[in-house]
């Protein structure tokens, strides 16, 4: 475009004076702020969704941590209860079958209890 063609745009000053350049800088800042503001408004819903996703992630981690703790406590309690229950009873006294004479000593001669042979 020739210098004469530039002079046809009277609605905008086209000299390179300091006041014209300052006005152009001011206008550029205005348009930059306008575009950035519009961009923020469009992406604001994305920021909220990211925020809610973060809260959901934190809640999920907390719930799973509580669930893990509860399951560990249940396993420990069941293990302790199982070990307590599986202790053998003191059967030293009853390891062998009693003979007839031992039965008579315990219950007296009047007893009709006899030894039962379980092996045939």
State the pLDDT at residue 83: 72
Number of H helices, E strands in the chain: 3, 0
State the pLDDT at residue 120: 47
pLDDT 10s per residue in the chain (120 long)?
Answer: 555 555 566 667 777 888 888 888 899 999 999 988 888 777 666 678 888 899 999 999 999 999 999 999 999 998 888 877 665 555 555 556 777 777 777 776 655 555 555 654
In-domain check, residue 8: no
Q: How many domains does the chain have?
A: 1
In-domain check, residue 113: no
In-domain check, residue 32: yes
Query: What is 22-48 written as a DSSP string?
Result: HHHHHHHHHHHHHHHHHHHHHHHHHHH
Stated length of the chain? 120
Residue with tokens 């893990």: 68
> Is residue 63 within 8 Å of residue 77, measured between CB atoms?
no
Output the six-digit token pair for 9: 């745009």
In-domain check, residue 65: yes
The whole domain housing 27 covers 15-88
Is pTM beyond 0.75? Reply is: no
Helix (H, G, I), strand (E, B) or coil at 10: coil
In-domain check, residue 72: yes
State the pLDDT at residue 103: 72
In-domain check, residue 95: no
State the pLDDT at residue 96: 66
């Amino acid at each position: 475009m020739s210098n004469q063609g530039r002079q046809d745009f009277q609605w905008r000053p086209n000299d390179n004076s300091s006041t014209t350049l300052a006005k152009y800088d001011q206008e550029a800042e205005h348009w930059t702020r306008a575009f950035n503001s519009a961009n923020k408004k469009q992406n604001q819903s994305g920021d909220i969704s990211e925020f809610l996703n973060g809260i959901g992630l934190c809640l999920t981690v907390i719930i799973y941590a509580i669930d893990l703790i509860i399951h560990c406590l249940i396993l420990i309690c069941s293990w302790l209860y199982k070990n307590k229950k599986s202790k053998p009873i003191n059967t030293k006294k009853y390891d062998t079958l009693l003979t007839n004479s031992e039965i008579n000593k315990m219950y007296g001669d009047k007893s009709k209890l006899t030894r039962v042979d379980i092996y045939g």
